[in-house]
Chains A and B, each alone.
Chain A
């Protein structure tokens, strides 16, 4: 089923007209309402009159994460606060987190793009969905919730965790759809086996997985273990949360609802727009948002784009799975982790060197974060107990910043491999 047949299968000409009209509207709107964008447009010497069609988008300046951080908490919003209905927070590199404000229209938009995504994945009204994404400030849970309600599903808002209960609910209620991070799907399969539940007999037939990068190999693993269709959903809080793109049953790229989220792929160095098929950074412009519209937002995610009509009938452009990042961000259990966050913590603790290495591994389907820290002269003790409590103290400090559990291991000075004097910060052992 296609949720919005008219829009999702629109031929390129009329689609372009809609995009052009909406882009002009958005540019005028943000110029009128957001000081941040007034300044940005002035600096780029762009006037609203210059933007006539969607092709003129290349004249607009980019928006980056720092623009949001510098205007913390609400400075980049275009709508007045009394029109903001909901706030979400995404983890940032250092300092202020990213705050995202949704007006009533944005919540409706969110539900709409999620409903489109669910239909893309093969879900139909009347199906039952178990949402095991975290509910709360994280956009995963509520985003899927709103869209499922709009589509007319029976929602089980489990949130994440409590795996035994998740499995019991699956066995007793027999939901057809599961939504969670791909690593949690693997973890639940492991737990099921331990509990003598055969994952292949599960009621879940469609999995909507996202919030962290995962590979084709991981898809095959999940599909084999659970005997389900594993569908990739993409999103980022700054744009709306999940629902920025989603695969259809063809599993040949993620459909972007380009009538509302206009995608571009650019060369992150030259900033020039790239041709279909070339790897580059995904840049997204929101065309209808009210609370916090963004123009040409640089996602830092590396993808390719395909404008060909899909076998499913949709004409919307498709992006590849995320192939990498332009920065050194890693996503662990759905949480964004930047090495600089860890560095900041270490610099604040006396007795550690800012030489560290982050090792990400996946054990039993769960991401594990181990941080190697070079021990300095001043914090050395000949008592193992004191060294252990030092490790513990570092781990607690890092956990309070990242909000996820880490293991800290002290290592000898100069033992972390360096190239050109710089340590290699992240070793990702996960077979994504």
Chain B
């Protein structure tokens, strides 16, 4: 139930995000969602793509520092309190969130959030037990 995310180190200088996007675009790689975490010097680009391994090879071949990370995608009701319900389960089970971001696209009336937890398996078990849907790689690719 884990999803592979590709993370890329970007120096904070003009044109680097474009360089990465251009490479992926030329190979027809579909970016499902992305987020950038940054500080004054550098950023970390995190992406969910349809072909993560191929993207990794491509970026590395072009001197980017990149890696694959397992994350968990969770379906959240797109209504007030939707996210709170998910966070309550995590809180009760003492699971820490390292970072999170959202999908642009939606499944029906549900939003999809991407989480990186300190303990992925524990998180998946807790969420599933509380009837919160964890989205798989296939579902993401077909979005």
Asked if B67 and A377 make an inter-chain contact with CB atoms under 8 angstroms apart, the answer reads yes
Residues facing A in B69-90 (CB within 8 A) are 69
Asked if B11 and A412 make an inter-chain contact with CB atoms under 8 angstroms apart, the answer reads yes
Docked pose: A380 CA to B69 CA in angstroms: 11
Interface 1/0 per residue, A161-204 and B, CB below 8 Å: 00000000000000000000000000000000000000000000
Q: Is A411 an interface residue (CB 8 A)?
A: yes
In the complex, what residue of chain B is closest to A370 when comparing beta carbons? B41
Interface 1/0 per residue, A404-432 and B, CB below 8 Å: 00000111111100000000000000000
B45 to chain A, nearest CB (A): 9
Docked pose: A388 CA to B60 CA in angstroms: 22
Contacts of A414 in B (CB 8 A): 63
In the complex, what residue of chain A is closest to B7 when comparing beta carbons? A382
Would you call the interface of chain B mostly helix, strand, loop, or mixed?
Answer: strand
Q: Is B39 an interface residue (CB 8 A)?
A: yes
Contacts of A375 in B (CB 8 A): 9, 65
- Number of B residues contacting the other chain (C-beta, 8 Å)? 24
Contacts of B64 in A (CB 8 A): 412
Asked if B9 and A383 make an inter-chain contact with CB atoms under 8 angstroms apart, the answer reads no
Q: Is A384 an interface residue (CB 8 A)?
A: yes
- Number of A residues contacting the other chain (C-beta, 8 Å)? 17
A206 to chain B, nearest CB (A): 42
B37 to chain A, nearest CB (A): 5
Asked if A410 and B42 make an inter-chain contact with CB atoms under 8 angstroms apart, the answer reads yes
Docked pose: A375 CA to B9 CA in angstroms: 9
Asked if B39 and A384 make an inter-chain contact with CB atoms under 8 angstroms apart, the answer reads yes
Contacts of B39 in A (CB 8 A): 384, 388
Asked if B11 and A411 make an inter-chain contact with CB atoms under 8 angstroms apart, the answer reads yes
Contacts of A412 in B (CB 8 A): 9-11, 16, 63-65
Docked pose: A332 CA to B29 CA in angstroms: 48
Asked if A382 and B67 make an inter-chain contact with CB atoms under 8 angstroms apart, the answer reads yes
Contacts of B16 in A (CB 8 A): 412
Residues facing A in B1-53 (CB within 8 A) are 5, 7, 9-11, 16, 37-39, 41-44, 46
Asked if B42 and A387 make an inter-chain contact with CB atoms under 8 angstroms apart, the answer reads yes
Asked if B46 and A384 make an inter-chain contact with CB atoms under 8 angstroms apart, the answer reads no
In the complex, what residue of chain B is closest to A415 when comparing beta carbons? B11
Contacts of B44 in A (CB 8 A): 381-384, 387
Q: Is A376 an interface residue (CB 8 A)?
A: yes
Contacts of B9 in A (CB 8 A): 375, 380, 387, 410, 412
Docked pose: A112 CA to B67 CA in angstroms: 64
Which of these, A383, A384, A409, A413, contacts B65 with CB under 8 Å?
A413
Docked pose: A384 CA to B11 CA in angstroms: 12
Binding site for B on A (CB under 8 A): 375-377, 380-384, 387-388, 409-415
Residue pairs across A and B with Cβ atoms less than 8 A apart, 15 shown, are A377-B65, A377-B67, A380-B9, A380-B66, A382-B44, A383-B116, A384-B39, A384-B43, A384-B44, A410-B42, A411-B42, A412-B11, A413-B63, A413-B65, A415-B11
7 nearest A-B residue pairs (beta carbon): A382-B7, A414-B63, A384-B37, A380-B65, A409-B41, A412-B11, A382-B69
